[in-house]
Amino acid sequence: MRIGIEMRRGHRLSVLPRLALALLSCATAACAQPRNDVREPADCSVQAIVALQLDPVPSLVADLGRSSGARLELVRTMTSNLHLFSVSAPGAEAECMAAIERLRRDPRVRSVELDQRRQIQ
C-alpha cells in the first residue's frame, strides 16, 4: 500500500514541471503579441457639403471615393442636390484637402465646400 502512495506523489511531482513549462510558454506567447500602444498614422477627416448632378447612390459614392482617393460616407441629404459627406483619407490634413480638390475636379460634382461653423464677425 505504501508503494502506491509514493507512486502517486511521484506522479504529482512529474506533473508540476509540465504545468510550469505550459505556463511559461503561455507567458512567452503573450509577450510576443503586438503592442497595443503603438499608434498607426491617424487618418484625417473633414465634413464637406457636396452638390451632385445625380442622386448619391452607393455605387456613385464608392466611385467618387476611388477617384478622389478618399473614403466618402454620406452623413445626410440636405436638399435634393446638396449632401453632407464625411471625407476621410490616410495621412495628414493635406491629404484630405488634396482629396477635396480631386473631388472638385470630378465632372459629376457641381461643388464641394467644407462644412465649417460660421462665426459672428
pLDDT in tens, 34-53: 555 555 556 888 889 999 98
Residue 82 located in a structural domain: yes
Residue 72, pLDDT > 90, answer yes
Query: Stretch 101-112: mean pLDDT, rounded?
Result: 93
119 domain residue, yes or no? no
Give me the chain's average pLDDT, please: 78
Helix or strand holding residue 89 (H, E):
strand 82-90
Are 57 and 75 found together in one domain? Answer: yes
Residue 121 belongs to some domain of the structure: no
Please give the Cα distance from 104 to 113 (Å, whole number): 9
- CA dist list (Å): 77 to 7, 50, 56, 105: 78, 10, 9, 21
pLDDT band with cut points at 50, 70 and 90 for residue 18: confident
User: 68 is in which domain, residue-wise?
Assistant: 43-114
Work out how many domains the chain is built from and give that number: 2
Examine the domain organization and report whether 54 and 82 are in the same domain. yes
Are 51 and 6 contained in the same domain? no
* The pLDDT of residue 25 is above 80: no
| Neighbouring C-beta atoms of residue 21, cutoff 10 Å | 10
